[in-house]
Amino acid sequence: MILLSFSPVKSTDAPELKQHIAEHFKCISLKSIFQKIGPGLITAALVFGPGSLTVNTKLGASFGYNLIWVIIVSIIFMISYTTLSGTIGCLTKESLMQTISRLYGRPTAFLLGLGIFFIGSSFQAGNSIGAGVAFYEMFGISQAFWIIFISLLAIMLVYVRSFYKVLEMVMSGLVLMMLICFLITLILSKPDIGALVQGLTFQIPEGSEFLVVALVASSFSIVGAFYQSYLVQAKGWKIDDLKTSGRESLRGILILGFLSSMVMMCAASILHHQNIEVNHAADLGLALEPLFGETTKVLFMTGLFAASFTSLLGNATIGGTILGDAFGFGHDYQSKKVKAMVVLVIIFGSAIAIAFGKLPLQLIIFAQAITIVVAPAAAFFLLKLSWRKDIMQENLYTWGRSLLPVMGFLLLVVLAIFHLKRLIF
C-alpha cells in the first residue's frame, strides 16, 4: 500500500519516490501478469471440449437450471486436484511419471501412461468432429475436409519451435474467444435469474442420472489435473512459485466452471421450454439462428470450434507427452519422439472421425472401461505423493488439507462403480 503525505517533497527525494512507486506497481505490470498466465488456463481449455459442451447443452435443454450446482461441486474438486498436481510439479525436478516410476516401479508408470494415452486417443475423434461441425455449419464444404484441415493445422503447431509457448498463446487466445462468444450468447438469451436461484436445490431430477455422471466426469477431469504438473514444469516454476501456481490453477479452473455454466444457462433459456431434442452442442447454435439471427449462430459456432480445437490439441499433448514419458522418452516438448506421440493421437482421432463420422459405440465403451481404472488410479498416486515428506517437503498435505482430494478420490471410485455396473448390465 502507498501512503500519501501532504508534507512537501524535496527534489532530491524524487528518485527514491519513483523507485518506491515502481516497486509497488511492479507486481501488476503487464509483463508480470502474462508471465503468470498459462498452466491453469491450458488445463481449463483442454478439459472444456465438445463433450462438455454437449453434456451441458443436453442438461440445460432437458432440466433447465436445476443442475448448475453439479458444475459448482465438480469445479471445487477439480481445483483441489489441479492445485495439488501443480504443487508437486513445482517441488520436483522429475516429471510426475518419472517420480511414479522411481517410487512405484516402471511397469506401474507405464500402465498408467498407457491408460491416459488410450483415453485421450479414444475421445479425440469427438474433438475432431466438433471442430469440423462448427466450420461445416458456418461455411459449408464437407465435414471431412474441415477435419483434415484442422488436424493438419494442429500437427503444424506441434512442430513449431517453442511448442509450449505456442500452446500457451493459442489456448489463451481461444479461451478468450470462447468467453466472448458464450457470454454474448448468454446475454442475448436473457437467463431467468429467479429460476437459476431456485435451481440450486442440490437435487438430481429423475432421468438425469447418467448425464449428471457425464457432467461430473467432464468437469472434474483427473487426467487434466494430472497433467497440470507437466505444464507447471514447462513454465519453469519452482518452489518460489507455489503461490503463483495455486492462484493460476484457481483462476483457470474457475474459467472452466464459468464456461460450463454459461452453456448450460444458454440451453436452459433457449431450448428448455421449446422441447427441442439435443444430440450435439451444435443443435444449440442452430436453434439460435431463428431467434437472434445468423450472427448469433456464427458466434456460438465460433465458440464451439474454439472449444473443440483447444481440446483436440490439448488432449493430444497430454496423451502423447505422458506416453512418451512412460516409455522413457522424457517429457521435453521439443523431443522428436514426444512430438511423434502427440501427432499419433491427432491422426488417430481424425481417422476415426472421417471413417465413422462419430465416435463408434465400441470405442466409447473401450474409453469408458479404461477411464474406470485410470481416473481413480491417477488420483490415488497424486494423493500418495502429497503425503510423502521427500516430495512435498514443508508443503506436506495434512489430513485437513487432504479432505477435498480424498473426497474427490471417493467420488471417482463411486463414478467408476456406476460405469462398471452400466457396462456389465
Query: Grid coordinates standing for 67?
Result: 443442475
* pLDDT one-digit tens code per residue, 96-117: 999 999 999 989 999 998 888 8
Domains of the chain: 38-388+399-424 (1.10.4160.10)
- Cβ-in-10-Å burial (0-12, 13-18, 19+) of 301 comes to buried
Reply yes or no on whether the pLDDT at 422 is more than 60. yes
Query: Which pLDDT score, from 0 to 100, does residue 366 have?
Result: 66
- Name which residue leads in pLDDT, 170 or 291: 170
Q: What is the dihedral of CA 216, 218, 219, 222, to 10 degrees?
A: 90
Helical axes 39-47 vs 163-189, angle rounded to 10°: 60
Query: Which of these, 175, 124, 203, lies nearest to 366 by C-alpha position?
Result: 124
Determine the Cα–Cα distance for residues 126 and 281; give it in Å rounded to an integer.
12
CA dihedral sign, ordered 370, 373, 379, 381: negative
Reply yes or no on whether the pLDDT at 56 is more than 80. yes
pLDDT band at 2 (very low <50, low <70, confident <90, very high): very low
Query: Which of these, 324, 398, 339, 410, lies nearest to 155 by C-alpha position?
Result: 339
Query: Which pLDDT score, from 0 to 100, does residue 348 have?
Result: 83
* pLDDT one-digit tens code per residue, 163-213: 777 777 878 888 888 888 888 888 888 888 888 888 777 888 888 877 888
Determine the Cα–Cα distance for residues 117 and 373; give it in Å rounded to an integer.
13
- Listing DSSP states for 345-407 in one string gives HHHHHHHHHHHHSS--HHHHHHHHHHHHHHHHHHHHHHHHHHT-HHHHGGG---TTTTHHHHH
Kindly state the average pLDDT of the residues 34-61. 76
Kindly state the average pLDDT of the residues 237-244. 87
Query: Which pLDDT score, from 0 to 100, does residue 302 have?
Result: 80
Query: Which pLDDT score, from 0 to 100, does residue 381 have?
Result: 93
pLDDT band at 362 (very low <50, low <70, confident <90, very high): low
Determine the Cα–Cα distance for residues 214 and 394; give it in Å rounded to an integer.
37
**Of the candidate ranges 18-27, 29-38, 375-384, the one whose mean pLDDT is the lowest:** 18-27
Kindly state the average pLDDT of the residues 26-44. 57
CB count within 10 Å of CB 419 equals 20
Query: Which pLDDT score, from 0 to 100, does residue 57 have?
Result: 84
Query: Which pLDDT score, from 0 to 100, does residue 416 have?
Result: 83
Query: Which pLDDT score, from 0 to 100, does residue 399 have?
Result: 76
Write the secondary structure of 91-134 as one string of H (helix), E (strand) and C (coil).
HCCCCHHHHHHHHHCHHHHHHHHHHHHHHHHHHHHHHHHHHHHH
